[in-house]
Amino acid sequence: MNDHPRTLTLLVRSALLLLAFFSSISAQTPDSSTKSQSTSEGIQKRDNEWGVWGSMSFNSTTLIGKTPDAKFGNIGLRYGRVLKTSKTVAFEWTIDVIPVSVLSNPRPEVTTAGPGFTITSLVRHSVYGFGAAPIGLKFNFRRNRRVQPFGQATGGFLYFNRQAPVNDSSRFNFTFDFSGGVQIVNSNHRSFTIGYKYQHISNGYTGTFNPGVDVQMVFAGFSIFK
């Protein structure tokens, strides 16, 4: 059941459509507050961020998790609140809702080849899930500039439609990630984000087996600060 490339392609297309949709809404929104915004450039304390993003893995590692050749992609919706600002840095708490996640990896599969004879092979399977990351710490640097480097860490959970990444593990998994990139914020407080993410997925030994999954990802998103 090697349907992962097609599934991830659909996932990426969905993310791009969402980004295009929100971008078009942003472009059509009348800018009635341009004058007031001109005196408060950049990200400000108590700003709220509303956004959508999509991410896709390009490599799996075994730094923490031990699942080889894993592939992962997801789409998320974000709310963030800027809690603190300095002259150049903005600190934001973020909450992500993740309606769609896809995890694919080879699993051992036993087939009968004859009386008393079996063959074990690795067959790639995909599982689907949803979840949230209610803990997010994000730091934007050069907060008053158009191009803002940022770093972030989030923690949350995913619930899959079957045990993942192997049988006798768990459908419920914890997640944490570290990411960094650039956020381009225009004068209307609309922004486009692109970056790199290292994500770990683990059931925290709540299942019989806990091999864990580590993936390196690229992601992009669109958001509005209000």
Q: How far is CA 95 from CA 48, 59, 120, in A?
A: 11, 26, 42
Q: What is the mean pLDDT of the chain?
A: 87
Specify the 3-state DSSP secondary structure of 206.
Answer: coil
Contacts of 21 (CB under 8 A, 6+ apart): none
Single out the residue of 124, 101, 121, 107 nearest to residue 1, CA to CA. 124
Q: Is 26 helix (H, G, I), strand (E, B) or coil?
A: helix
| Three-state secondary structure call for residue 120 | strand
- pLDDT tens readout for residues 98-147: 999 999 999 988 888 778 788 888 899 999 999 999 999 999 999 999 99
- Give residues with Cβ within 8 angstroms of 67, minimum separation 6: 60, 105, 165, 166, 211, 212, 213, 214
pLDDT of residue 19: 54
Q: How confident is the model at residue 110, as a pLDDT?
A: 83
Strands (E), the chain: 48-61, 71-85, 89-114, 117-141, 147-164, 170-185, 190-202, 213-225
CA distances to 28, 168, 170 from 210, in Å: 48, 9, 8
| Contact partners, residue 175, CB within 8 Å, separation at least 6 | 131, 133, 154, 155, 156, 157, 158, 199, 200, 201, 202
Contact 163, 171 (CB under 8 A): yes
What's the CA gap between 151 and 165, in Å, rounded? 28
The architecture that CATH gives domain 4-26+53-225 is Beta Barrel (2.40)
Q: Can you spell out the DSSP letters for 28-71?
A: HS--TTHHHHTTS-S--TT-EEEEEEEEEEEEEE-SS---TT-E
Walking along the chain (226 residues) 10 residues at a time, the average pLDDT comes out as: 54 56 47 42 90 97 94 98 97 98 92 83 94 98 96 99 95 98 93 98 96 98 96
What secondary structure letter does DSSP report for 135? Answer: E
This model's pTM is above 0.95: no
